[in-house]
Structure 1
Amino acid sequence: MLQYTYLAINFFTVIICFLFSFHPKIKFHRHFKAFLMASFLVAVFFIVWDVWFTKHGVWWFNDQYLIGSRLFGLPIEELMFFICIPFSCVFTYFCLDKFFKLDWKPDFEKVFVIISILLLLFLSVYFRSKIYPFVTFLTSAISLFILYFILKVQWIGKASLIYLILMPGFLAVNGILTGTGLDSPIVNYNPEKIIGLRIFTIPIEDTVYGYEMILWNLYFFHRFKNQKTEESTV
């Protein structure tokens, strides 16, 4: 049964959110198409990143916990990860945004974004000799700059707060993937390619990696959802 471990993690991450998507007060199922289009676009970039890092030994996967099927050199469960995790995060964002007013004041949000960009740039330079933090911090800084200053999104503060709310779930899922409660990790990291600072068993870089991935999922989800709304009113 161990070979179904990663598959089970994906399943239990998404199943509750999927079922509640059909709740009459939520109706997230009406936006499945927008989500799938968004997650596919974002997944392409992160899968390329994943393939490259796996090929160069930044991380690798323990076959003991996998069903054995691979595509592009990645376990099929890893490819599912880029759909299941964003689904749960986007669904949670959708629900909290629907029922609560979580918008930030523009000036405060701007300060938060600028400080975050500067901090990420500093960290990327400081850890430039280690590929995972360097790439993660640098691309996250670039992503924040593009989203806020070029694409003019106005929900980064709100998304950041919701990501923080989701952190216990993130720690639970990534904790198991990185070895919490298991004899050995499902995903192993090369100690020479990471900072070495961990939250339990989770490399600290994973929190920023997940943050960047969710921001882009939200951007394209908003875009495709709004596009559908505009078409329906024509």
Structure 2
Amino acid sequence: MLHYTYLLINFFTVVICFVFSFHPKIKFNRHFIAFFKAAFMVAFVFILWDIWFTKKGVWWFNDIYLLGIRLYNLPVEEVLFFFCIPFSCIFTYFCLDTFFRLDWKTLPEKVFVIVSIIFALGIAVYFHDKIYTLITFLSTAISMFMLYFILKTRWIGKASFIYLILMPGFLAVNGILTGTGLESPVVNYNPQDFMGIRILTIPIEDTVYGYEMILWNIYLFQKFKRKE
């Protein structure tokens, strides 16, 4: 049964959102194609990142929690992670954006983006010898700059607030993956490659990594949804 642990984590992450996608007041199922187009594009980049970090030993996976099927040395469950987590997040974003007015005013959002970029760059520079910290915070800073100042998106504040709402679920899922409630973690990290600051058992870098991934999923999802 332990071999199904990571697979079941993915399943329970997505199943409720998937079922409610067909609700007549939500009808998120109409946007499945837009979601999968966006998810595939973002997943491609993050899976390459994942493969590289796994090869370098930044993180590795505990075989007792896996089916044993691998793709370029990545467990198939890890590949599914890049679709299951974004699905639940985009579904939640879609619902909250549909039923509530969560848009930020221009100035507060701009200040938030600028401060976040400066903070992320500062962390990246200070911990430049920690590869997970460096790449995660640097790429997030670049992503926020591109999305706000080049691609002219005006929903980063709203997306950040929704990501905060999603944080309990994120902590539950990532907590189990990193060892909360288990005898040993599903995903292990090399302590030399990250700051060492954890929320429960979760490296703080994971929260930023997930934030960047969701921002790009939202951007591409909205782009493809408009074309439908």
TM bucket normalised to smaller: over 0.9
Give the TM-score, by structure 2 length. Answer: 1.00
Aligned to 2:63: 63
Question: 2:90 is matched by which residue type in structure 1?
Answer: V
Question: 1:117 is matched by which residue type in structure 2?
Answer: I
Aligned to 2:210: 210
Q: Secondary structure at the match of 2:195?
A: coil
Using the TM superposition, give the Cα deviation of residue 227 of structure 1 relative to its aligned residue in structure 2, in angstroms: 1.1
Question: 2:182 is matched by which residue type in structure 1?
Answer: L
* Unpaired segments ≥5 residues, structure 2: none
1:101-120 aligned at under 5 Å gives the runs: 101-120=101-120
1:71-107, Cα deviation, whole Å (9 max, x unpaired): 0110000000000000000000000000000000011
Aligned to 2:134: 134
Aligned to 2:81: 81
Q: Secondary structure at the match of 1:120?
A: helix
Aligned to 2:161: 161
Q: 2:86, 2:50 → 1: CA distance?
A: 16
Q: 1:140, 1:43 → 2: CA distance?
A: 16
Using the TM superposition, give the Cα deviation of residue 160 of structure 1 relative to its aligned residue in structure 2, in angstroms: 0.1
Q: Does 1:53 align with 2:53?
A: yes
Q: 1:146, 1:194 → 2: CA distance?
A: 25
Q: 1:66, 1:93 → 2: CA distance?
A: 30
1:142-175, Cα deviation, whole Å (9 max, x unpaired): 0000000000001000000000000000000000
Aligned to 1:10: 10
Identity, in percent, stands at 72
1:36-95, Cα deviation, whole Å (9 max, x unpaired): 000000000000000000000000000000000000110000000000000000000000
Q: 2:208, 2:59 → 1: CA distance?
A: 16
Give the TM-score, by structure 1 length. Answer: 0.97
Deviation >3 Å, runs of 4+ = none
Q: 2:159, 2:181 → 1: CA distance?
A: 30
